[in-house]
Amino acid sequence: MKLSAAGLELLKRSEGFRNRVYRDVAGVPTIGYGHRLLHPESFSDGIDASQAAEILASDVRDAELSVERLVKVALTQGQFDALVDFCFNLGAGKLAHSTLLKILNAGRYQDALEQLLRWDCAGNHECPALKVRRHAEAELWNNIAADQQAAA
């Protein structure tokens, strides 16, 4: 499965674009559409939109592969999109060790969605931007009509 246009739009809107290195909420050096810098990356001259798009495509592919590897039940496109955005945002390790994944792999889709909505904190504090993002993911998760249209 691949991230849909709707999923990519959510991801880009949530992350925003920055052409210079900045520190994210967790203090991690980041650039472009939420790309966390890996050693020895530096981008001292910044990046342009096309470089950001290339990096984003690679990061999205990593998130897609993580969801495919970790999730053992069938997903709708919307559920897949929501989980790819979640992995992109928090990392595959967070999904791998989550109650969300355990419940989802047991086939309890609605309970898994409720778990997804719990991931709205940075540190021990509720983060309004994460709350908005999780609710947008929930909208994708529940978008059965769009999934059926895409399959037709």
pLDDT tens for residues 73-120?
999 999 999 999 999 999 999 999 999 999 999 999 999 999 999 999
Helices (H), the chain: 5-15, 49-70, 77-90, 92-96, 99-105, 109-116, 128-141, 144-151
The active-site residue, picked from 15, 41, 54, 114, is 15
How far is the C-alpha of 127 from the C-alpha of 14, rounded, in Å? 13
Q: Is 137 a catalytic residue?
A: no
Every domain of the chain and the residues it spans: 5-146
Per-residue pLDDT tens for 42-79?
Answer: 999 999 999 999 999 999 999 999 999 999 999 999 99
pTM score? 0.91
Q: Which CATH architecture has domain 5-146?
A: Orthogonal Bundle (1.10)
Contact 95/87 with Cβ under 8 angstroms?
Answer: yes
The owner of tokens 């529940």 is: 142
Which of 28, 21, 22 has its CA nearest to residue 45? 21
**What order do you get walking across the sheet with 35-36 strand by strand?**
18-23, 29-32, 35-36
37 by Cβ neighbours in 10 Å (0-12 / 13-18 / 19+) ranks as: middle
